[in-house]
Amino acid sequence: MYDIITILLRRIDWRSQHGQATTEYALVLLAAALVGLLVIAWATAGGGAAAISGLFDRVIQSVTDRV
């Protein structure tokens, strides 16, 4: 049994990059989801809602002033 494990371990290329891109993609998606959740939590906590409302009002006012 020990010989089989030794043979299998020797055949593994420990420097292989297979699956690295998939792992990095998954980590980026998790980070983006975390940022999204933090933004939603901030926006619904009260202070964020007022800031978003003020920003929206300024954008609308700027657009209507130019027309």
Report pLDDT digits (tens) over 12-48.
Answer: 766 666 667 888 899 999 999 999 998 888 777 766 7
Beta strands per DSSP E along 4-59: none
What pLDDT was estimated at residue 49? 72
Backbone torsions φ then ψ of 12, nearest 5 degrees = -75, 130
Averaged pLDDT for residues 61-66: 90
Q: Residue 32 CB: number of other CB atoms within 10 A?
A: 10
